[in-house]
Chain A
Amino acid sequence: MPIKITDLNYVYSAGTPFAKHALKNINLEIPDGEFWGVIGHTGSGKSTLFAHLNALTRIQSGTIEIDEFRLVGNGGKKPKRKHRPDYKALRARVGMVFQYPEYQLFAETVREDVAFGAKNIGIKGDELDTRVKSAIEMVGLDYADVAERSPFDLSGGQKRRVALAGVLAMHPKILVLDEPTAGLDPRGKRDILNLITEIKSALCPTVIMISHNMDEVAEYCDKIAVMANGELKFVSTPRELFSRADTLEELHIETPCVTALARELNGRGLNVSVAALTEDELVEEILRAKGANA
């Protein structure tokens, strides 16, 4: 079952001079098994929108349906009993990895920290151990090496992986990541993104990644949603979005490096397609164009 968001609205501090309409009539359907990227400037509402997905933010108006769960707004008040699904089950289904997740580590050992979420949903005994072990291994860490160490002794990149493992141990079917690559070096960024792709094929079929980085979403995502000023402006494949110069201009979206390079080459007379999204695709395009010229 897909994620279905209907007429979602959210106003921060309604009724005060600070009131801010953070989400305006969002309607969105995300099918199972896709890798979505969500882009938009700071304050465009993208983080607010996705904090709704596992009921961390109370819906003010609108509905969200995820699998058998149905969240209905009640004017920002506690929802009526019949509209209150099992939040724990929902949160185990939708794994949420926040910005700089390493800042949420707290336990004495990596193993305990990773086990925290799974324990909270009632997993115990051997099953818990297996889940923890496989989650730590899935994020590319050596279980024997890190399991009994303090998470605070690890490097920044390793901490982030541990935090990610803590969410994976709950075996979510949908993974929401808020800027998973923020603050990492280019190598670390690529590693994390490849890791996410692996996780997607091994464990969570649906991945939603909030990002600032156009190169990232262009290369990795199946679909892109663009948000601006609390509105959902545009949903399409990266190929379509980044080949539409006018839309990019209008929404003040940066062009990914690959696309920018392809445009530049085009302008200088080399006939390459601007729809190339990855470096490899562009290289192939250039070779093809060169071949045609020669």
Chain B
Amino acid sequence: MKDVSFGQYYPVESPVHRLDPRVKLLSVVLYIVGIFFIQKFIGFAVVALFLLVAIACSRVPLMKVLRSVRAVLFLVLFTAIISVLFYSGGGEEPLWAWGIIKIYKGGLLSAARMALRLVFLVLGPSLLTLTTTPVELTDGLESLLKPLALIKLPVHELAIIMSIALRLIPTLTEETEKIMNAQKARCADFDTGNIFKRAKSLIPILIPLFVSSFRRADELADAMDSRCYRGAKGRTRMRVLKLRFRDFVAAFVMLALFFVILVLRYNWFGLGFINLLV
């Protein structure tokens, strides 16, 4: 467990990794909104093409990105099956019927759309977390949320809380593993017995874990105090986020993708061929 830093960051050098996290965050937001505008399969094809290019640029193995779909696979299949079964037709001849179960072409198409939408919704953000470290993400988020400080939202404090939490996840995982090993070495049994027995068997892990978390928090607070930390006021940054040429290129590509999606949906220019596409 200790080998995984946190999340699924995939440490390689690539143009996508080097992008400004703010641009990446906003791109993902735009991407998600875009997905909801898609209705034709050609739209999904365009997004798929975009993703493939982005993944190729990011040097993350394709399988690694696709694996993130596994988590929602059940949800995707479930919604697809339900929507096929409950599609009511609308005067259309069923393709296949068995008792009350009727399957329509329209149902299959809408189920496929829904499944594709879900899959693409997962793929985009997972490319973000694969190419951006948690620290960069929080930095980006803090910078994007800065305007909210005007309405007295403690943006910096929230960001620091988030980075500390993210930073401590691997530490706590490692600690949990150590404590579990130590209790297992004393023949503790976590896997047998009924639910009450199992819950009780967690006490020897949870108590030391709490004790050490409090100790760690104290130590961290002392360490921050002794280095004169006093919140956002007057604090400068080591890594100053700065937009570069590549960030503008990325933003442009993203906007172009969004534009294409909208054109495919609303056919603003009255292009005949768009109406022919499914």
Contacts and interface: CB of A to CB of B under 8 A. Distances in A.
Q: Do A and B come from one complex?
A: yes
Interface of A: 12-13, 16-18, 20, 51, 54, 56, 87-88, 91-92, 95-96, 98, 101, 103-107, 116-117, 120-121, 152, 166-167, 170
17 contacts: A12-B3, A16-B3, A56-B185, A88-B187, A91-B186, A92-B187, A96-B185, A98-B181, A104-B182, A104-B183, A104-B204, A106-B204, A120-B186, A120-B188, A120-B189, A121-B187, A152-B211
Contacts of B182: 96, 98, 101, 103-104
A16 B63 CA distance: 12
Contacts, number: 67
A283 to B, nearest CB: 40
Given A51-B181, A103-B208, A170 B186 contact: yes
Contacts of A88: 187, 189
A54 B185 contact: yes
Contacts of A101: 182
A105 B205 CA distance: 9
B212 interface: yes
Given A13-B4, A103-B178, 9 more contacts: A17-B11, A88-B189, A91-B184, A91-B187, A103-B211, A104-B204, A106-B208, A107-B204, A120-B187
B185 A91 contact: yes
A11 to B, nearest CB: 10
Nearest to A104: B182
Contacts of B207: 106
Nearest to B175: A103
A199 to B, nearest CB: 16
A176 B21 CA distance: 47
A134 to B, nearest CB: 17
Nearest to B5: A18
Contacts of A117: 185-187
A234 B206 CA distance: 40
B228 interface: no
Given A104-B208, A106-B208, A152-B211, A166 B186 contact: yes
A101 B181 CA distance: 11
A2 to B, nearest CB: 21
A219 to B, nearest CB: 27
A98 B185 contact: yes
Contacts of B11: 17
Interface in B88-122: none
Interface in B133-184: 178-179, 181-184
The 8 lowest CB-CB distance pairs between A and B, nearest first, are A117-B186, A120-B187, A104-B182, A96-B185, A106-B207, A13-B3, A18-B3, A106-B204
A98 B181 CA distance: 9
Interface string B1-23: 00110000011100000000000
Nearest to A117: B186
B199 interface: no
B203 interface: yes
Contacts of A170: 186-187
A96 B186 CA distance: 8
A18 B207 CA distance: 31
A181 to B, nearest CB: 18
A116 B204 contact: yes
A20 B3 contact: yes
A13 B3 CA distance: 7
B10 A56 contact: no
Nearest to B188: A120
Contact of B186 (A12, A13, A87, A116): A116
Contacts of A92: 187
Contacts of A166: 186
A95 B185 CA distance: 7
Contacts of B184: 56, 91
Given A104-B182, A116-B186, A117-B187, A17 B208 contact: no
Contacts of B10: 17
Contacts of A104: 179, 182-183, 204, 208
Contacts of B183: 104, 116
A20 B179 CA distance: 23
Nearest to A121: B187
Contacts of A13: 3-4
Contacts of A20: 3
A77 to B, nearest CB: 16
B181 A56 contact: yes
Which of B11, B182, B212 has most A Cβ within 10 Å? B182
Which of B4, B182, B186, B204 lies at the interface centre, i.e. has the most chain A CB atoms within 10 A of its CB? Answer: B186
